[in-house]
Amino acid sequence: MTSAMHLQQPDSNLLQLLSSLNKVKGTLSDSDEDFGFLNSLLQSRELQALIQVHNSISKSINGNETDAGTPVSCLSITPVSSNVEDLAYDVLDVLHPLASKYREARELYYILQKPHFQSLFSAHDSITQKDYLPRLPDIPLEVDEDEEAVKIVQLVKSSEQLPGKLAFEPIVGATIKADEKTGQILIARVMHGGAADRSGVIHVGDEVHEVNGIPVHGKTPNEVLKILQESEGTITFKLIPSESKFQTRESKVRVRACFDYDPSDDQHIPCKEAGLPFKKHDILHIVSQDDAYWWQSRHEGDNSMRSGIIPSKALQERRILSENANGHEVSVDEGFLEVPTYEDVARLYPQPRNPRPVVLFGPSGVGCNELKRRLIAVDPDKYRTTVPYTSRPRKPHEVEGQDYFFVSRDQIERQILEGKFLECGEYNGNIYGTSAASVHEIINSGHVAVITPHDQQAMKRLRSAEFKPYIIFIKPPSLQVLRETRNASRMDDGISPIRKFTEEDFTTIVEEGKRIETTYSHWFDQTIVNEDLGEAVKELVQAVHCVETEPLWVPCSWVQ
């Protein structure tokens, strides 16, 4: 474009309006001022410019012609689908078993998971679903209980007709399908923000009985579409509402619950029967966050489509804080109050080239190292652990880089200050530590890193998009079982070094286990009770296999 934008001829509709205004001028009494105002508004350059912009945009959206008068049908956009994001997940599920066999499948599998592509799909869906338009509240239907409810809905036919086989979608903002068994014409999808959605009374699953007085039973979706294409102006639908009038404008938010919830115990829930009970760690699909205090939600994967109400994040945080004020325990770390309620999650697909590290965390003495040793022994070519650094001198039987990396105190202290260590500690005057780089080396070499950090600072650093770990809480059994199993193993002639426990040690392990579970359970992907060692190892092997092969829920930020 070389010239600056200039105003063209005033819009013909505007000229017509001006001339009508002038005609009625004499018939209006005492309205000189109003007339003058309207007249100058209609002739103002600003209004004319706005109308010109509006006309240009609507012309190009409708694919009629450009400013220069050339056809732009090639520029008009016809969405093939309004749900590409879900489609991409379906494709990922199909590709997952093929990715290890075929190079092309693997490549596509990685491409579809890239954050840029996922954002693009999400933006695409928002645009095609017109999810940016304001939503009108639902119109309540008052229906006699015994009667079959019939909805008469009138929609103005959209002028934004687009070519293509989904033409029904742009006409009224909904798609239809024929029920495979009954042949009934059903509403298959309501596009967010479209005419049907904005009406608030057309829902997915509604049965279409008549369109403009023409019964549609026995007709194919294409025949119904033809009726729509041929009708002018207002279109009247006779609909039988679906039994499950589930929300059509669903958010895609998934959260992991960090607490148990039982609506029957909740004094403040607006309707106990409408509440959705859940347990800590459940994955919930949040259908609506429109209400500041009560969200609508379903259990992930629950196809009954029943949604229920649950306390919103803001409400639950307030509840926990007020409970805390009344003496309940909340995790307090470095002066920050952590109030775990819900965590936004997304599915992370296994990446064979960069496997997720497995972190075993539990009270000292519960058996994290024993389990790590035994897991690595199952397949030493697959599972690896980090080699710690130490400032102590090497003993004759020790091998550099195998038992430890032996470095000077100065070196290790400098690296700690530079934040290069996940954790470190001093023992008998020597420093020991695990570097973050050593975990990355294992991940980048395609091995599964098995790590047993000791403190929560290391856990905090590990539980991040940088490492994407799968965290297993190794939980002590009851005091009595702990005592029995550990005392029995003392008599074993096993290969592992046998630690002698005192009664006090056992009590500390159980108590520390309880503290860790209460404070950090929202970090854990899984819990294994280390009672019988063989059983615990079996559970661990199964868990790790699952991490290597299944898409699992992780904090959203690890995927974006």
Ligand X SMILES: Nc1ncnc2c1ncn2[C@@H]1O[C@H](COP(=O)(O)OP(=O)(O)OP(=O)(O)O)[C@@H](O)[C@H]1O
Q: Which residues bind ligand X (CB under 6 A)?
A: 364-370, 452, 454, 485-486, 489, 496, 498-499, 530, 533, 536
Q: Strand, helix or coil at 426? A: strand
Q: Least Å distance between CB 417 and ligand X?
A: 25
Residue whose CB is less far from ligand X, 71 or 494: 494
Residue whose CB is less far from ligand X, 84 or 533: 533
Residue whose CB is less far from ligand X, 256 or 486: 486
Sign of CA dihedral 289, 295, 300, 302: negative
Query: Residue 318 and residue 211: Cα distance in Å, rounded?
Result: 50
- Are the C-beta atoms of 287 and 298 separated by less than 8 Å? yes
Q: Least Å distance between CB 426 and ligand X?
A: 15
Residue whose CB is less far from ligand X, 99 or 540: 540
What are the φ and ψ backbone dihedral angles of 338, each rounded to 5 degrees? Answer: -100, 120
Residue whose CB is less far from ligand X, 125 or 423: 423
The full length of the chain comes to: 560
Residue whose CB is less far from ligand X, 266 or 403: 403
With CB atoms as reference, the residue minimizing the distance to ligand X is 367
What the block records as the tokens of 162 is 């687009």
Residue whose CB is less far from ligand X, 452 or 456: 452
DSSP per-residue string spanning 242-303: PSS---SS----EEEESS-B-GGG-TT-S-GGGB--B-TT-EEEEEE--SSSEEEEEETT-T
Query: Residue 108 and residue 453: Cα distance in Å, rounded?
Result: 36
End-to-end alpha-carbon separation of the chain, Å?
38
Q: Least Å distance between CB 109 and ligand X?
A: 37
Q: Least Å distance between CB 487 and ligand X?
A: 9
Q: Least Å distance between CB 559 and ligand X?
A: 31
What the block records as the tokens of 334 is 């470095």
Q: Least Å distance between CB 360 and ligand X?
A: 8
Q: Strand, helix or coil at 400? A: strand
Query: Residue 517 and residue 215: Cα distance in Å, rounded?
Result: 62
What the block records as the tokens of 345 is 């999650």
Query: Residue 385 and residue 357: Cα distance in Å, rounded?
Result: 10
Q: Least Å distance between CB 447 and ligand X?
A: 21
